[in-house]
Structure 1
Amino acid sequence: MWLAAFFGMATKYSEALLAVKYRTVDENGQMSGGPMYYIKNGLGHKSYSGILAKLFALFGICAACFGVGTFTQINAIVNSVEITFGIPGSDTAIIIALLVALVTIGGIKSISRVAQLLVPFMALSYVLGCLVIIYFNLENLPSAIALVVKSAFTPTAASGGFLGAGVMLTIQMGVARGIFSNESGLGSAPIAAVAARVREPAKQGLISMTGTFFDTIIICTMTGLALILSGSWTAGASEAAYMTNTAFAAFLPTAGTYIVTVGLIFFAFTTILGWNYYGERCVEYLAGVKGIRPYKAVYVFLVAAGGFLSIEAVWIIADIFNGLMAFPNLIALLALSGVVVKETEKYLKTLEAEKTGTHAYSPVNREVRAEAGPVVTDEEE
Structure 2
Amino acid sequence: HKYREKDEQGKMSGGPMYYMENALNMKWLAVLFSIAVIVSSFGSGNMPQINNIAAGLNETFGIEPLLTGAVLAVLLFLVIIGGVTRIVHFTEAVVPTMALIYVVGALGVIFYNIENIGPSFMMIFDDIFTGTAATGGFLGASMAFALDRGVNRGLYSNEAGQGSAPIAHAAAKAHEPVSEGMVSILEPFIDTIIICTLTGLVILASGAWTTKYENDFQRSDFDVIEGVYSDQNPADVARLFAHLDPNNSDNLNEFTGTIDVVNGIPTKGNYTIINARSVAEDVHVSLEGEDFTGTLSITEGVLDEESKVTIAGKSLLHSVRLTTQAFTTGYFGEFGKYIVSIGLLLFAFSTAVAWSYYGDRATTYLLGSKFVMPYRVVYVLAFFVASFADTTIIWNIALVTVVAMTIPNLFAILLLHRDMKQTVKEYWQGFYEEHPDQKKK
Q: Shorter-chain TM-score category? A: 0.7 to 0.9
Change in Cα spacing, 1:221 to 1:358, as seen in structure 2 (3 Å) is closer
> Does 1:24 pair with 2:24?
no
Residue 53 (structure 2) aligned to one of 45, 62, 77 = 77
Q: Which amino acid aligns with 1:247?
A: A
C-alpha separation between the residues in 1 aligned to 2:196 and 2:353?
22
Change in Cα spacing, 1:107 to 1:280, as seen in structure 2 (3 Å) is closer
Number of residue pairs matched by the alignment? 335
SS of the equivalent of 2:351 reads helix
Gap runs ≥5 in structure 1: 1-19, 360-381
- Structure 1 residue 356: Cα displacement: 1.6
What does residue 108 of structure 2 align with?
Answer: 132
C-alpha separation between the residues in 1 aligned to 2:342 and 2:80?
22
What does residue 317 of structure 1 align with?
Answer: 397
> Does 1:219 pair with 2:195?
yes
What does residue 343 of structure 1 align with?
Answer: 423
Q: Which runs of 4+ in 1 moved over 3 A?
A: 105-116, 157-163
> Does 1:55 pair with 2:32?
yes
Q: Which amino acid aligns with 1:225?
A: L
C-alpha separation between the residues in 1 aligned to 2:32 and 2:94?
36
What does residue 363 of structure 1 align with?
Answer: none
SS of the equivalent of 1:293 reads helix
Contact 2:48 2:395 in 1 (8 A): yes
What does residue 304 of structure 2 align with?
Answer: none
SS of the equivalent of 2:393 reads helix
- Structure 1 residue 98: Cα displacement: 1.2
> Does 1:352 pair with 2:352?
no
Change in Cα spacing, 1:147 to 1:80, as seen in structure 2 (3 Å) is same
SS of the equivalent of 2:140 reads coil
C-alpha separation between the residues in 2 aligned to 1:358 and 1:115?
34
What does residue 14 of structure 2 align with?
Answer: 33
Q: Which amino acid aligns with 1:245?
A: T
What does residue 381 of structure 2 align with?
Answer: 301
The TM-score, its normalising length taken from structure 2, stands at 0.72
What does residue 326 of structure 2 align with?
Answer: 247
Q: Which protein is bigger by CA-based radius of gyration?
A: 2
What does residue 231 of structure 2 align with?
Answer: none
* Greater mean deviation of Cα atoms: 308-317 or 275-284: 308-317
SS of the equivalent of 1:120 reads helix
Deviation string 1:180-215 (CA, Å, 9 cap, x unpaired) is: 111111111100001222232111111101111111
What does residue 157 of structure 1 align with?
Answer: 133
C-alpha separation between the residues in 2 aligned to 1:34 and 1:114?
22
What does residue 181 of structure 1 align with?
Answer: 157
Deviation string 1:64-109 (CA, Å, 9 cap, x unpaired) is: 12x1121100100010000011011111111111111222237798
- Structure 1 residue 139: Cα displacement: 3.1
SS of the equivalent of 2:127 reads helix
Contact 2:324 2:336 in 1 (8 A): yes
Q: Which amino acid aligns with 2:12?
A: M
C-alpha separation between the residues in 2 aligned to 1:103 and 1:182?
23
C-alpha separation between the residues in 2 aligned to 1:35 and 1:161?
45
Deviation string 1:257-282 (CA, Å, 9 cap, x unpaired) is: 11110111111111111000000000
C-alpha separation between the residues in 2 aligned to 1:147 and 1:302?
39
Contact 2:20 2:412 in 1 (8 A): yes
C-alpha separation between the residues in 2 aligned to 1:313 and 1:263?
23
Change in Cα spacing, 1:227 to 1:294, as seen in structure 2 (3 Å) is same
> Does 1:232 pair with 2:208?
yes
Contact 2:84 2:357 in 1 (8 A): no
Larger strand share, 1 or 2: 2
Larger helix share, 1 or 2: 1
- Structure 1 residue 345: Cα displacement: 1.4
C-alpha separation between the residues in 2 aligned to 1:161 and 1:341?
51
SS of the equivalent of 2:141 reads coil
Task: Kindly indicate whether structure 1 or structure 2 has the higher relative contact order, using CA contacts under 8 Å at least 6 residues apart.
Answer: 1
> Percent identity between the aligned chains?
41
Deviation string 1:31-82 (CA, Å, 9 cap, x unpaired) is: 10000000000102xxxx11100000001000012x1121100100010000
Change in Cα spacing, 1:122 to 1:358, as seen in structure 2 (3 Å) is closer
What does residue 254 of structure 2 align with?
Answer: none
Contact 1:63 1:325 in 2 (8 A): yes
* Greater mean deviation of Cα atoms: 237-246 or 208-217: 237-246
C-alpha separation between the residues in 1 aligned to 2:430 and 2:88?
37
- Structure 1 residue 114: Cα displacement: 5.6
Q: Which amino acid aligns with 1:272?
A: A
Contact 1:70 1:303 in 2 (8 A): yes
What does residue 92 of structure 1 align with?
Answer: 68
Deviation string 1:308-329 (CA, Å, 9 cap, x unpaired) is: 2111111111111110111111
Deviation string 1:253-304 (CA, Å, 9 cap, x unpaired) is: 2431111101111111111110000000000000001111111111111001
C-alpha separation between the residues in 1 aligned to 2:83 and 2:430?
41
SS of the equivalent of 1:43 reads coil
What does residue 7 of structure 1 align with?
Answer: none
Deviation string 1:195-237 (CA, Å, 9 cap, x unpaired) is: 2222321111111011111110111001100111111111233
